[in-house]
Amino acid sequence: MSRAKLHELGIELPPLPTTSVGSFPKPPYLVKARADFAQGKIKREELKKAEKRATEFWVRRQEELGLDVLVDGEMYRGDMVAYFAERLSGFEQGGLVRSYGNRYYHKPIIVGEVKWTGPITVEWWHFAQGLTSKPVKGIVTGPYTMMDWSFNEFYPTRRDACLALAAEVHKEVEALVRAGCKIIQIDEPAVSARPEELQLAIEAMAATTRDLKAYFVAHICYGDFESIYPAMLDLSVDNFDLEMSNSGLDMLRLFSKTHFTKDISYGVFDVHTHIIEDPPVVEQRLNRGLEVLSAESVWVDPDCGLKTRTVEEAQMKLERVVSAARVLRGD
């Protein structure tokens, strides 16, 4: 079904298409430029120049490595929620909170009515797509995660905040579609956090993708999938991008009980380790997936964004994605 949809959109992909989840590590010169900008040492134009240079580097590297569906690498983003919160009205930047280990992020605070005031990611998508003939995914953070990962001092309930955000994120997705983006990923890592709110997340996703012609991917990770599967298949997307390997392929057990009815971007390695998995390990993980999933539905990628790895590690891990897919395709 989804292949037909891709065909309708004019996109033809090989079997086991390879992609990545979205973020890549920022090269040292960009890390420095961001720090310099934060300290007022350089102007925004200089920072943007470094962001463009890094984006071009990653687009070229993805092409060279042979990935099929590219991303812009999010060189211009810091945190996935804060980036959008800083560009929607109604948010205030909050202080740092810890996400895990020694990792911290600025958690936004909703202090007023949330409003989309203009395209946020479209210019970057245009830039990346202009560098390649391969499709580049548009990637936005979804409304449920925006709500769940922000403090809320304005809306009376979580539901009110979530649906208000869905209406505004929809405008960003619509802007991407108008710009020509045909594969759009909605990042919703928080969806699995509160199973009792899955229906709200489904309602919000429907509002986000409503009446828009694109192939939609939902990225969900690090949660209690047992309690939301198979109900999560009702999210109005074509493809689920899932972290299969971090949880030891546990999810395959669920899929063998209840058939996975959509396309899947199948994570073949844990992104939170410096270890570069050997090719046979990656191939074996993918093979195990293919015993349960229809081959036509499977895309291959890392478990999650690669921004916490080094530039070298990220490239090596991406190389493993491509080589595993090629081996299993019989290339």
Binding site for another protein (CB under 8 A): 94-102, 104, 107, 109, 148-149, 151-153, 190, 192-194, 222-224, 246-247, 270, 272-273
Please identify, using beta-carbon distances, which residue of 275 and 295 lies nearer to another protein: 275
Nearer to another protein, 8 or 224 (CB): 224
93 or 258: whose CB is closer to another protein?
93
Find the shortest distance in angstroms from Cβ 21 to another protein. Answer: 15
In whole angstroms, the minimum distance from the beta carbon of 59 to another protein comes to 29
Please give the backbone phi and psi of residue 174, each rounded to the nearest 5 degrees, phi first.
-60, -40
Decide whether 19 or 150 has the Cβ nearer to another protein: 150
Complex with another protein: residue 174 or 241, whichever CB lies closer: 241
276-to-261, 283, 309 alpha-carbon distances in Å: 31, 13, 11
Q: Are 59 and 66 in contact (CB under 8 A)?
A: no
> Is the Cβ–Cβ distance between 55 and 10 less than 8 Å?
no
Q: In 149-269, which ranges are E strands?
A: 151-152, 183-187, 215-220, 239-242, 263-267
What distance in Å separates the CA atoms of residue 102 and residue 107, rounded to the nearest whole number?
A: 15
Nearest distance from C-beta of residue 17 to another protein, angstroms: 26
CB of 65 to another protein, least distance (A): 25
Largest CA distance in the chain: 57
Would you say 29 or 104 has its CB closer to another protein? 104
In the block, residue with structure tokens 């490595």: 65
Q: Which residue has the tokens 């090989």?
A: 14
Residue whose C-alpha is closest to residue 185's, from 218, 232, 234: 218
C-alpha dihedral over 161, 233, 17, 60, to 10 degrees?
10
